[in-house]
Amino acid sequence: MSAQEMEMVAPAATREAGRGAGTGILSVQGIGKRFGGLVALNDVSLEVERGSVTGVIGPNGSGKSTLFNIIAGTLRPDRGRVFLNGRDTTRASPAEICRGGVGRTFQISRLFGEMTVLENLVAIAHGASDPEAVERALELLDFLEVAHLRDKWGSELSYGQRKLVEIARALMLRPTVMLLDEPFAGINPRLQNRIVDHLEVLRRRGLTLFFIDHEMRIVLEICHTVHVLAQGEVIASGPADAVRTDPKVKEAYF
């Protein structure tokens, strides 16, 4: 890997490592969230190690999306705290969290439809000059092998193309952590494998990947650590193999 490639996706800095609570780059501590009478999350704690691939799985209604939205700042928890890069981001806005080094993709595509793919990427290149932003956008489109879509309108893309462009867009701000909301849902296995390959390259370059998904095959295949959520609680955590054979997980999920 050349120095330039390193620069392209490597974390902005590890300057804040070790500060604050928790050992990981992302630390979720005792999060609780209720919607009316429904307990969505009950005392969830988990750590995401720097440079790891960490997944959260769980059946529908287990609280995965709620947890994800709390980490990304779109929901406020009732209890508990979230630390990103050692900084307390529990009360931070989504924009602040993003500018603090967190890229995210969405479960349902949220590309800007009436903007071209290039504009989708450049629009959020905060702090970079126009030529820099364009240069970086082209590099990322190249990297994800979607450079030919550059001048297409967001609304023209197919479902799978949107997923790839969304990943490129999330990488524009050189995040240290990527939050991927069901990146493999509803796409064919060929494209799933392509995305897995891209994510693996990104991880080797130092990016931390955190995602939630239903796709057991991929989650167990690529994750170092898997957390299993059921009814708002983490019922199992650990390496994929250990989780796979955990009797509690079998009971809740299979």
Pick 28 or 226: Cβ nearer another protein? 28
- Closest to 111 measured CA to CA, from 39, 161, 60: 161
Point out which span in 34-42, 48-56, 128-136, 222-230 binds another protein (CB under 8 A). 128-136
Residue 75 interacts with another protein (CB under 8 A): yes or no: no
Residue 60 interacts with another protein (CB under 8 A): yes or no: no
Residue 150 interacts with another protein (CB under 8 A): yes or no: yes
> Closest separation between CB of residue 177 and another protein, Å?
13
Who's near 62: CB < 8 A, 6+ residues apart?
Answer: 229, 230, 231, 232
**Token representation of residue 87:** 């900084």
Residue 173 interacts with another protein (CB under 8 A): yes or no: yes
> Closest separation between CB of residue 2 and another protein, Å?
8
> Closest separation between CB of residue 110 and another protein, Å?
4
Contact 23, 56 (CB under 8 A): no
Pick 196 or 216: Cβ nearer another protein? 196
Coil, helix or strand for 104?
A: strand
Residue 130 interacts with another protein (CB under 8 A): yes or no: yes
Give strand pairing partners of 57.
228
Dihedral sign for Cα 249, 90, 180, 52, please.
negative
> Closest separation between CB of residue 149 and another protein, Å?
12
Rounded Cα distance between 155 and 139, Å, is 22
Residue 165 interacts with another protein (CB under 8 A): yes or no: no
> What part of residues 218-247 is at the interface with another protein (CB under 8 A)?
none
| Number of amino acids touching another protein (CB under 8 A) | 45
Pick 42 or 109: Cβ nearer another protein? 109
Q: Give phi and psi for 54, each to the nearest 5.
A: -120, 135
Pick 148 or 250: Cβ nearer another protein? 148
C-alpha to C-alpha distances, 111 to 46, 89, 93, 165, 196, nearest whole angstrom: 30, 25, 20, 8, 21
Rounded Cα distance between 227 and 68, Å, is 13
C-alpha to C-alpha distances, 26 to 13, 160, 253, nearest whole angstrom: 15, 28, 25
Of the candidate residues 33, 81, 163, 169, the single one contacting another protein (CB under 8 A): 169
For another protein, the binding residues (CB under 8 A) are: 2, 4-5, 72-74, 93-95, 98-99, 104, 106, 110, 112-116, 118-119, 122-126, 130-131, 133-135, 137-139, 142-143, 150-151, 153-154, 169-170, 173, 197, 201
